[in-house]
């Protein structure tokens, strides 16, 4: 015969197991419900087309849930209040592979630069190379072309959407600014014209290279018309402009260089160059998918899959940084901008750097 205490203990264990099961089920259900509620708010905010209850809806919900876990992991690695912050963005329903295919497959490996040199379209920076710490005593300690010039010289943040034309956006943006600095006339110039017309290793919305775009502008002396005259369609099409039959803004010269010396970045040079005007650069933007703010210091590499514009810098804090203008709309990052640490070639900022003259 079984002792009474053993029967009592069995009942207790069964009761405790039931409580644990119910509690764990409650917390899992609550967690899933909380994630789905966030996902529904995400759908509403970014006007995503997912129909609740559909197969696509649950597929994207799972990806969204994975994104939340990734954000938590990345934020757990922050080393200070200056570190980058990651969270829900308009890309949180995409896998990393989908994000790369849709938004980062738009820079092509440059043609051999000797081709550009041989045609007289490549200007190498000949200033003396310095270490990446040469900016520490630089004056002024802060510069931002949005606010520090005498008149407006930066147009609004653009949105390339699904067109792989970052190389065209960043190149045209620098032409806009340099022309405004020179003439006080700030114009929205046609990115679509460059997407459609720029040859020499560029492939419209299927990708291109910033140095090749600038080479095309100089070699053909094609004036850039306004966006109103040649509006953005976010698709590739045939060129609708005759090079010698239009009036617009022409590029007169440019530099295209790599600020790496014996494996070390020489970004002090770039800081100095920014006082003359913005720089167009190629970067690795793989980790930008989840960026909300702060200074990116890690989680990216020195290969290039995206092109952007540097419009300033800030050396005053413990982590000096470049101010980067992106082309994913003003609902990305810091109203369309992103901060990247100066030094150590973070995200490959020193791999392909261009300045221009108009």
In the set 71, 163, 166, 305, the catalytic residue is 166
Give the model's pLDDT for residue 116: 43
Q: What is the DSSP letter of 258?
A: -
CB atoms within 10 A of CB 255: 19
Six-digit token string for 69: 């876990």
Helix residue ranges per DSSP H, 135-209:
166-183, 191-197
Whether 300 is a known active-site residue: answer no
**What's the rounded Cα separation, in Å, for the pair 242 and 238?**
12
Helices 166-183 and 210-220 sit at what angle, rounded to 10 degrees?
50
216, 222 in Cβ contact below 8 A? yes
In the set 211, 326, 345, 347, the catalytic residue is 326
- Would you write out the chain's pLDDT as a tens digit for each of its 358 residues? 555 545 544 554 444 444 444 444 433 444 568 999 999 999 999 999 999 999 999 999 999 999 999 999 999 999 999 999 999 999 999 999 999 988 987 565 554 443 344 333 333 333 333 344 566 778 899 999 999 999 999 999 999 998 989 999 999 999 999 999 999 999 999 999 999 998 877 888 888 899 999 999 999 889 999 999 999 998 888 888 876 667 899 999 999 999 988 677 789 999 999 999 999 999 999 999 999 999 999 888 878 899 999 999 999 999 999 999 999 999 999 999 999 999 989 999 999 999 999 9
Q: What is the DSSP letter of 151?
A: S
Give the model's pLDDT for residue 113: 44
Q: What are the residue ranges spanned by the domains of the chain?
A: 4-76, 85-357
Whether 339 is a known active-site residue: answer no
In the set 71, 163, 300, 306, the catalytic residue is 306
Helices 4-46 and 55-76 sit at what angle, rounded to 10 degrees?
100
**What's the rounded Cα separation, in Å, for the pair 224 and 252?**
12
**What's the rounded Cα separation, in Å, for the pair 98 and 21?**
37
Helix residue ranges per DSSP H, the chain:
4-46, 55-76, 96-103, 113-118, 166-183, 191-197, 210-220, 267-273
The candidate with the shortest Cα–Cα distance to 122, out of 216, 191, 262, 203, is 216
Give the model's pLDDT for residue 185: 97
**What's the rounded Cα separation, in Å, for the pair 118 and 123?**
11
CB atoms within 10 A of CB 270: 24
196, 237 in Cβ contact below 8 A? yes
Beta strands 264-265 and 260-261 are antiparallel
Q: Residue 282, SS3?
A: strand
Whether 347 is a known active-site residue: answer no
Q: Which CATH architecture has domain 85-357?
A: Alpha-Beta Complex (3.90)
CA-atom Rg of the chain in angstroms? 25
262, 355 in Cβ contact below 8 A? no
Report residue 266 CA to chain centroid gap: 21
**What's the rounded Cα separation, in Å, for the pair 344 and 153?**
29
Q: Residue 332, SS3?
A: coil
293, 89 in Cβ contact below 8 A? no
What is the pTM assigned to this prediction?
Answer: 0.84
CA distances for 46 relative to 42, 88, 90, 292, 313, angstroms: 6, 11, 6, 15, 31
Positive/negative CA dihedral, 51, 56, 62, 64: negative
Give the model's pLDDT for residue 316: 94
């Amino acid at each position: 015969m079984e002792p009474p205490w053993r029967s009592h203990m069995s009942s207790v264990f069964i009761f405790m197991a039931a409580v644990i099961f119910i509690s764990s089920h409650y917390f899992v259900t609550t967690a899933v419900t909380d994630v789905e509620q966030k996902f529904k708010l995400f759908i509403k905010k970014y006007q995503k087309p997912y129909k609740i209850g559909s197969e696509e809806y649950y597929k994207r919900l799972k990806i969204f849930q994975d994104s939340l876990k990734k954000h938590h992991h990345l934020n757990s690695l922050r080393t200070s209040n200056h570190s980058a912050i990651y969270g829900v963005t308009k890309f949180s329903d995409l896998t990393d592979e989908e994000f790369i295919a849709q938004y980062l497959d738009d820079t092509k490996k440059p043609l051999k630069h000797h081709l550009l040199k041989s045609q007289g379209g490549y200007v190498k920076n000949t200033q003396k190379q310095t270490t990446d710490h040469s900016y520490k005593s630089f004056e002024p300690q802060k510069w931002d072309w949005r606010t520090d010039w005498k008149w407006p010289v930066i147009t609004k943040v653009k949105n390339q959407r699904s067109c792989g034309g970052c190389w065209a956006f960043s190149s045209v943006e620098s032409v806009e600014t340099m022309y405004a600095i020179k003439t006080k006339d700030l114009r929205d110039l046609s990115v679509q014209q460059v997407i459609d017309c720029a040859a020499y290793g560029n492939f419209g919305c299927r990708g291109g290279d910033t140095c090749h775009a600038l080479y095309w502008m100089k070699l053909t002396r094609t004036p850039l018309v306004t966006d109103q005259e040649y509006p953005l369609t976010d698709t590739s099409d045939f060129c609708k402009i005759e090079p010698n039959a239009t009036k617009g803004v022409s590029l007169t010269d440019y530099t295209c260089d790599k600020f790496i010396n014996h494996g070390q970045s020489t970004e002090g040079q770039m800081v100095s160059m920014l006082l003359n005007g913005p720089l167009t650069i190629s970067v690795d933007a793989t980790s930008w998918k989840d960026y909300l703010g702060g200074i990116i210091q890690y989680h990216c590499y020195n290969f290039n899959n995206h092109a952007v514009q540097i419009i300033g810098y800030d050396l005053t804090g413990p982590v000096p940084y470049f101010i980067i203008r992106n082309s994913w709309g003003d609902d990305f990052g810091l109203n369309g901008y992103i901060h990247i640490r100066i030094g150590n070639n973070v995200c490959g900022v020193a791999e392909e750097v261009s300045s221009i003259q108009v």
